[in-house]
Each structure stands twice: as C-alpha cells, then as structure tokens.
Amino acid sequence: MVRFSGVGLCYPEGGGAWALQGLDFLLPEGSFTWLLGPSGAGKTSVLGLMHLRLRPSIGRIEVLGHDPAGLPRAQLPALRRRIGVVFQDYRLLPHLSAFENVALPLRIQGVTEARLRADVTEMLRWVGLAERAEAAPAALSGGEQQRLALARAVIARPALLVADEPTGNLDATQARRVLSLLRELHRLGTTVVVATHSEALPEEYPAPALRLEGGRLLRHG
C-alpha cells in the first residue's frame, strides 16, 4: 500500500520552485498503477518518494505500512529492501557482470551463495539473458540493459515495484515482453507502479492511472 497525503516536493537546488504539489492518493496493496504525464510532469519525483530516494518537503507518505519520516534511520534499509526499482537510466554497476548486478539485492539481504546462484540464474533466464550472465553492462544492448535492470529490481520479490519508463528504449516486441513480466509480478501479488509518457501502453494494458502535469495530480483512476 502506498499513500500520499498533501505531499509537496521542493528541490533546494531548483530555486524554490515546487516540483510536486498537493498530491493525495492511495494505491492499494497488490494494485497495478500507471503513472502518466509528459516529460517534466514529476513522475520520477513521485517514484523517488515512493522508493525513499527523496523525502517530501511537506505532507506525509506511507509506504508498505510505514511512514519513512517516522522510522529510525537504522530501519530504513530493511524497508528499502522490500521495494524494487527500475531506474530510467538503469543504474547498473559497470564494474559488475550481469549476473553480479542481478545478484546484488540478494547479496545485500545476505542470501546464501548456493541459493543466490540458482535464483539469479533462473531470473536471467526469465528475462532472456541467461546467455549473457558474464557480460559487463556496457557490452549489452539498451534493451538487454533494461531487462537486466528489471531482473535486478524483482530478484528479491519486492512487495512494491516502481518502474520509471521501463520500456522507454525498447522496440514494440521487447516492450511487450517487459510489460508481460511486470504484469506477471503483479499477478503474483506485488504492488506495481509504472511511470510512462506513452499513451499506447495503458491502452494496451488497461489499469488505474495517476495523471500528472506540472507537478500536480490531474486524475486518479
């Protein structure tokens, strides 16, 4: 469950302008939600608040039943580990292989090496990268990197998955493949939030949507 109550966000380096204002919404547990809006509407900022990269300037957020502002710092990592993130720019670690990138969330959780190896191998097969396990991210195509980022985001079976333009650099076939992976995750019970500026994707996969423009919520539902 994700709840925003009167949330506003102002970047100090942004000259005091509000990136987000007056956001109120509730995403039920196990829901699939599109986050729509043109570039610069504030989609990445909303996702940043959801995966605790940002803190609201005003208002209150609740993620997976916790108010991050009320949690001691030592408990935030455990909450973060329940959230999977697909970054718009992938944010893969260039000095690690594809296998090690996907293994990272499990290593952070302290999963045993034997268990980790089987899970990562299976996940790489799921996203069609089993043959590229030892490749460095730089050696992968844009589509492969995007799928690798998705694999890393879901390997630890997060309770909440936020994805920022996960099909942005993919052709239609690969985009459908990534979306079917996201919907499969949703079917398994994960709360999924997907930000996109594409109007075609929500039409192809109808689901509740939050529409942003200029940092304000235009429509919910």
Partner 1 sequence: MARPKGATALRPLRGRDPLGLRRALAGWLLPALVGAMALLAALAIAGAAGAGRLAERWEQAAAGQVIVQVPPAQAEAALARLRALPGVAEATVVAEDRLRALLAPWLGEVPGLPLPVMIELRLVERAEEAALREAAAAIPGAQVERRGEAVTQALRVAEGVRGLAFVLLGIIAAVAVALVAVATRAGLAARRETIEILHELGARDADIAGRFAARLALLCAAGALGGLAVALPALWLLAEAAIPVALSRPAAASDLPWAALALLPPAAAGIGWLTARLAVGAWLRRLP
Catalog residues that contact partner 1 under the rule CB under 8 A: 51-55, 73-74, 77-83, 85, 91, 93, 95-96, 100, 103-113, 115-116, 119, 156-157, 159
Residue 221 beta carbon to partner 1: minimum distance, rounded to whole angstroms? 29
Of 115 and 187, nearer to partner 1 (C-beta) is 115
37-75 core/surface letters (b: 16 or more CB in 10 A; e: else): beeebbbbbbbbbbbbebebeebebbbbebebeeeeeee
Are 36 and 210 spatial neighbours (Cβ–Cβ below 8 Å)?
A: yes
Of 136 and 207, nearer to partner 1 (C-beta) is 136
Residue 45 beta carbon to partner 1: minimum distance, rounded to whole angstroms? 13
Q: Quick one: which of 31, 28, 22, 33 has its CA closest to 65?
A: 28
Residue 159 beta carbon to partner 1: minimum distance, rounded to whole angstroms? 7
Q: Quick one: which of 116, 195, 113, 80 has its CA closest to 124?
A: 116
Q: At a CB cut-off of 8 Å and minimum separation 6, what does 166 contact?
A: 86, 146, 149, 150, 178, 179, 182, 194, 196
Of 151 and 175, nearer to partner 1 (C-beta) is 151
Of 70 and 110, nearer to partner 1 (C-beta) is 110
Question: What tokens does 171 get?
Answer: 């052709």
Residue 208 beta carbon to partner 1: minimum distance, rounded to whole angstroms? 25
Of 89 and 171, nearer to partner 1 (C-beta) is 89
Residue 184 beta carbon to partner 1: minimum distance, rounded to whole angstroms? 17
Q: Distances from the Cα of 179 to the Cαs of 87, 144, 182, 195, in angstroms?
A: 15, 14, 5, 12
